[in-house]
Structure 1
Amino acid sequence: MTPRPAPAGVWFITPGHSPARFPAAHRCGADVALVDLEDSVPAALKAQARQNAAAFFTAPAIAPALGVRISSPTTRDGIHDLAAIAEYPTRPDIVLIPKTESPRDIEVAAGVLDAPGYTPHLYGLIETPRALEDLPSIVRAPRLAGVLFGTADYATATGCTATWDALLHARSVLVTSAAAAGIHAIDSPFFDLQDNAGLRREAEQARNLGFAGKCCVHPRQLPHVTAVFTPTDAEVATARAIVAAAQDAGDRIVEVAGQMVGPPMVKAARALVARAEAVGTQHEVTA
């Protein structure tokens, strides 16, 4: 059986203690919608959020890939989260594991959740200096599908400012390690809900650095991030021309529109075409 592709693109997260927001998350048009059991949920409401979240995954057929951000599996809440998810009538496609600092964190989640006919995509949330130091081993955890960068916790832990320049080193290391392991890297949310220009700029910088997507924490951020991570018609046309020329040439180096094109460019073009087709399918489904 061919493995399901791990989701990338635009991610949206909604708090688990507010089930009235679930239908909007299902219709938001993101590639992935997550229900949160961690930071956005007050401590007194975590048990209720855990119970509410079961309904998040009984969404209509027309919905993005659905997932959950649990609490750290090294905490009591995280253990309760995993145990609850294992018993949900419909279980999530994706489980995001915060404070991931070793392959063992991924193994614990997989050990609780994996069952005959069910192996969710596990993503590690990289948000501590220790995690960055141990990335080469984390990204090669057998059950890891991808990583997300958590700027807020990382900046707090290091004492740096939560700006692009201050966090560029960490982002670069994360993208490089993920690429070496052949998994997706998704960028952190942009937390200033009033600065759409800043959001767009950061999304473009993340895409240019090699991130496969970016998280959003408010519905009005989605159009801006989606526009950045959706290939333009011109980009898709160019990519299709590269793929076609390479096929005609037996994958030898060819010239396309005055540019020499070799295997790395062809691989990138095929990935862009696949991304465009995935976005097109998602838009057809949510229309």
Structure 2
Amino acid sequence: MAIFLEMPELNPEFPFRIILNDGNILTTPHWHREIELIYVTKGSIHLGINDQPYSLSEGEIVLINGGDIHYVLASPGSERIVFQFDLTFFTGLNTEGLNLTRFFEAVEPFSPKWHREKEAVVREILIEMYHEEQRKEAGFHYQQKADLLKLFVYLFRNIPEKKEIHKSHEKVQSKDILEKLDQVFRYVEQNYTTKITLEEVANSIGYSQFYFTKFFKRNTGKTFITFLNDYRIDKAKWLLINSTDNVSEIISQIGIESDKTFYRLFKQSMGMSPLKYREKMSVKN
């Protein structure tokens, strides 16, 4: 399975999870069937949903429907809480015959387009859910279920529909895009330790180098070279934390040919040297 087709391991009895991400965490284009809400708690973030770039500031929320292709670019100094849940949680409770799939396709996903009072109510529910997750007091799962139902009811009754809803042919187009991106990500995953050229990766999905360059930038918001460098730096960060290899050995494992280039990219990405990063993460651990 490719690393960018996300399949969260959720409890079938309560398919729900909360993740706290800081701004240095980059999520490359992916999709999953679960509904996702992102609440920005600090700074601002830049993300893309179905080929469209967006920005969210502190206190703002976005709802991402299952099947939507999305990514979040690295946004240093920011922080976000991610809430994911599967619609199957509501299935046995849906005695009114509500069209839940249609609702999540139609609802306006960006809280800046809601009234501020409505945004504040949703934010309060999300904060309570996060605090329950952190405290884990007796019965917190019951409280989380209650809060999730409260959240859904409030969204259903109060949040407006967006002006334009993706048509079925647009969904098919998005899946075609995802399949091509997935092939690219598989290629990178398998070959990042060696030299990768634009021509090689373009050929791997049957595109010309010129078309591939435009295709990748349009659908991820960054150039392929930038993505590849970010991917390799992420691998280096993992090795710095989880191995005792020295920096030169790590560079030889991630496909960056020049030590000078590696140090420049790492400092640019993390704001510190590789050894400082290792020291900082070792203290945390």
TM-score by length of 1: 0.26
Greater CA radius of gyration, 1 or 2? 2
